Chain A
Amino acid sequence: MSIGSPDSTVGVEEHPASAEPVRTAATPHGKSPSRIAFDRLRKDKVAVICASIVLFFILVAVLAPLLAKLEGQDISTFNTRQIDEFGYPTIGITPDHWFGIEPKTGRDNFARWVYGARPSLIIAFLATVVGTAIGVVMGLLAGFLGGWVDRVISWLIDFVLSLPFLLFAIALVPIVESLRGGSFNLTPEDQANIRFYVLIFVLAFFGWAGLARIIRGEVLSLREREFVLAAKAIGVPTWQVLFKELLPNLVAPIVISASLAVPAYVTAEAGLSFLGVGLVEPKPSWGQTIAVATNWYKADPLYLWLPVIGITALVLALALLGDAIRDAFDPKTRR
């Protein structure tokens, strides 16, 4: 199906995960809703193309050392000989340097580009996993237990959602660094590592609340259903009801929310690095390269365009894939 379908404006929360699979002649009995969604996804051309682009970037990230070795360069060698006295590179694209070299330092662009795919993907995926896990547990507890647990968690959700995300992310960086003795006393490697974990923490901290709210709403309606009442009646322990009875019925909202979170986190990570609060040297990262490259974009456009194209293609593919996944899980668009 096409990405601009009339129902693509519908939000995640409106799609009941609990919807029974629509059993028509075309969908044989015994197919789970996830199976049906996956089958629909496979027939969606946009989704397949986007998935291959995402796969390409994952391969680039995983095989980064191999690709750099193939080219014969690494990320930290300063080729100062190919840099003129004003810092401009004297060479363009050569067999030695496939994408040219960085202005001023002369490091290899290709090697830094393939390594730059790593932090974007790792941070986004880790933050999604952590945020989704917290969101699911909080939502399940709030919705199922009700009472004061629900009130506390709902208040927490409101609280997190009313914090200004960007500002808090910026504020957290110097605080965490001062805990470790201040950025002045840290080696560049330590600072880069701290920033890496701070980013995952910040993204997950702000990411769980939205999902928790959706899960809570779903659980509120699910817990009155017969199968849950039956499980409770025969004395199944609460945790088992939560994770064995309820969780399988929440696959759709969880998958949808996670697939929409990944592109958002890639965007956020690169954006924060662009502002100077994300990853720092010596870790190669696209966002940070863009920030530096804006000083050289006239003399060395390739230096700027490489990370720009990387982020744009990756985020676009992830976002359109997320949208296709949402449509595939949506019972309203089932034909």
Chain B
Amino acid sequence: MAIIERPSTTAPAVLPTVPSAAFGALKRPVTVSSGWRSWLFTVDHKKLGIMYGAVAMFFFIVGGLEAVLIRLQLAAPDGKVLNADLYNQMFTMHATTMVFLFVMPMASAFANYFLPLQIGARDVAFPRINAFGFWAFLFGGIFINMSWFLGGAADGGWFMYAPNSGPIYSPSHGVDFWALGLQITGIASLTGAVNLIVTVLNMRAPGMSLMRMPIFTWMITVVQFLLLFAMPVITVALFLLMFQRNFDATFFDVAAGADPLLWQHLFWIFGHPEVYILILPSFGIISEVLPVFSRKPLFGYPFVVFSGAAIGFVGWGVWAHHMFASGLGPVSVAVFSVATMAIAVPTGVKVVNWTMTIWGGKLSFPVAMKFALGLVILFTIGGLSGVTHSVAPSDTQQTDTYYIVAHFHYVLFGGAIFGLFSGFYYWWPKVFGKMLSERLGNWNFWLMVIGMNMTFAPMHILGLQGQPRRMYVWTEARAGEGFFNLGFWNLVASIGSLILAVGVLFFLINIFVTARKGKQAPADPWDARSLEWMTSNPPKEHNFDSIPTVGHLDEFFHRKYSESESGQLTQVKSGEEVILDLEKNADAHIHMPSPSYWPIVLALSLPVIAFGLIYSIPVAMVGGAIALLGCYGWALEPSTATDDEIDPPSSGQGKEMVHVG
């Protein structure tokens, strides 16, 4: 286990004993600053964060293309772009990809990169486990998508209701790949959650009490607790499904006395907290962005923190609102209906606080701010349509129609994804040292706003006009006439999806252009408020030359500005000067974890096991052997690479870098 020691200015840190028999594969890889090995074996939270982001972005494009195919199929009645089978695979994988392979890992990217920086730490508590989490996510994502080429992807919807997910009704291997692949990404989420919780609880900079923690870190912490308790539930459900499909178990077999509603309860006890797992990181991001561009602190910080925590708690008591039509009986329906209304209150508190944050501010509107305000407005639309189906009787008319599709895309696209884009523009200079182009960013933003509203607003109409979800075709006979006819609005939604795709394309162009000839970012481009900006862009491998002592919420801001009795602010230092102060007092001994071979080896064993469970048990045993090897290698690995292996060698560099694993 790697513990990064707090720097001591008085005595040099004591090095753990290096096992004397450190040879061969058990030698830790040397630190290299560039090249593919510096990525493959890295345990640096920043490099892992970037890799999380890059892979998640790839899956965003995959999921987006799936969405465009779905909309092309539905643009006209009796669509011929996809057949029924492919369509079912497409909408199953669109949701699976967007939820598990884009929004969740993209939130992990932000959490990995910024959480240690925001709390003034040099890395996470368990750097190797962090690396393992990334590789498990990547291999799990690839594994699920391999099914496209091996007889077809999963076709039961992302909710995978039993018994339609059973071997009789879904005979291809798609569901097997889906269930096992999600187990693998689930392991990634679970290890990540443990890691970040320990990091937040143990590794905050001196003086940073919980109520001085940046709000993004707070929201990520709530999410990690949600993950910690939600992932085991889906793990159980997926195991039952796997045993049902691969080993003839009868957990959901009605003929054997099972009740298929068991799956629904398990799935949604995971699935509803999952919704907050998706949205809270974005709430955290814009709660950082809005104050910066309003030049005011977040309004009602404790209310935002506690409403986030309240959402985290109440989020466990509303799962059955996904099942209002499933025949729960009036008592359960009434209880879950009221609980669902209750959760609207803390959510409303957040919207109020964001509005009050910009109220009375000094607002500027760079692209990051535009996306943040976009979230507030679009999420509010989704939140209000959410209230209409917390009303259970009303929901029995709306559930499983396009009205619901409209609702959760306003919440998840307008909410979660707009928040992530706000984060991209806000933190890009921090991560890559260059400013994303504002000009291309505006194209990106406006096309996404127009495309998003054109795609999803008409779906309110489609749903209220009675068009169900998950239909590979819709028919002219049920389309009606006049202003609300399904044909017109389906076409509008499909055109909107193309505009949305072009909007996202502008972001990719922006990345490319910025990498080629982007403007170098100043140290403090936004006059920011929190710790992650109190170091160079991009940060050094050890994040901070000296760990700051925190006296305020918005510590960086308070080091730059002094406030008079009357509340008048005067700038006393520039951001650069604050950073220089820290550099001048650099710690003498900085202990960083060494890279390791074993996280990627252990992660690689997982898809091998999964592959074996589907096709041949001996292959699974090979995977098991690799896992065992990985665990032993990991456990026996020397805690550090030796000094002379470090590149560049630590001697004569002015600052001594000791790598502790």
A associates with B: no
Q: Which residues of A contact B (CB under 8 A)?
A: none
Q: Which residues of B contact A (CB under 8 A)?
A: none
